[in-house]
Amino acid sequence: MNAAALIDSPRSEIRLDPCRYDQPVPRVRQRAQAETPASAFAAGETALRDAYDAHGSLVYSICRRSLGAEAAKEVTQDVFVSAWRARDQFDPTRGSLPAWLVGITKRRVIDHLRGERRHADRRADELPEWSSDGAEPPVDRLADRLLVADALGALPERAREVIELAYIHDLTHNEIAERTGLPLGTIKSDIRRGLSKIRERLEPSNV
């Protein structure tokens, strides 16, 4: 199905595979030309399916953990439809596509929860804790954590390993060298380049 068909199809015809997206954000190596889908998406080419394939797992994970499985499917579709219709607002030279999609996801999740709150006929004690005092759900923190995990998972395996050892396991460069057998210079350069790529991936478009 091409992008136009995806947009024009009724929601019931656009189905997510729960077995595919009902997983943690995958820690897989991304394609070498990661910016090509973002550039094509911004240019208005038939790239919605590529964007969906590349980032659907991240968007669905945020939606599912915030809303539950059934609502997550609907909201995930809404995110990509909204993104496609507003693609002229995305500038790949000023921010990353996944970060831009996550921003849309946060808004759609909150919109859905507000709608549920307005129309729900459930008793107050059946609502989530965050809804009892009118506060917004903690979707921002959840989305940011998953976006960081997605950015980390996009790194080459060696760079990801040394960054995890440094920042998750709190090892020094010397301790990482002892554990991995890598030269200190390699460790330092891997961390520097890896953090730079993570920052690029986390930077939303300012448009």
98 and 144: one domain? yes
16 and 103: one domain? yes
Query: Phi/psi at 60 (nearest 5 deg)?
Result: -65, -40
Show the domain range for 164.
156-207
What digits encode the pLDDT tens for the residues 99-129?
A: 999 999 999 999 898 887 765 544 444 445 5
CB distance 39 to 92 below 8 Å: yes
Kindly tell me if the per-residue pLDDT of 32 is higher than 60.
no
Looking up residue 80, the CATH number of its domain turns out to be 1.10.1740.10
Instruction: Tell me which of 72 and 48 has the higher pLDDT.
Output: 72
Task: Return mean pLDDT, the chain.
Answer: 75
Please tell me the pTM assigned to this model: 0.63
- Residue 23 — very low, low, confident or very high, per pLDDT cuts 50/70/90? very low
DSSP label at residue 127? S
Interatomic CA distance for residues 69 and 73, integer angstroms: 7
120 and 41: one domain? yes
What pLDDT is attached to residue 45?
59
What pLDDT is attached to residue 48?
82
131 and 171: one domain? no
62 and 131: one domain? yes
Count other C-beta atoms under 10 Å from residue 56's C-beta.
20
Residue type at 90?
Answer: F
55 and 78: one domain? yes
63 and 134: one domain? yes
45 and 138: one domain? yes
Domains identified in the chain, total number: 2
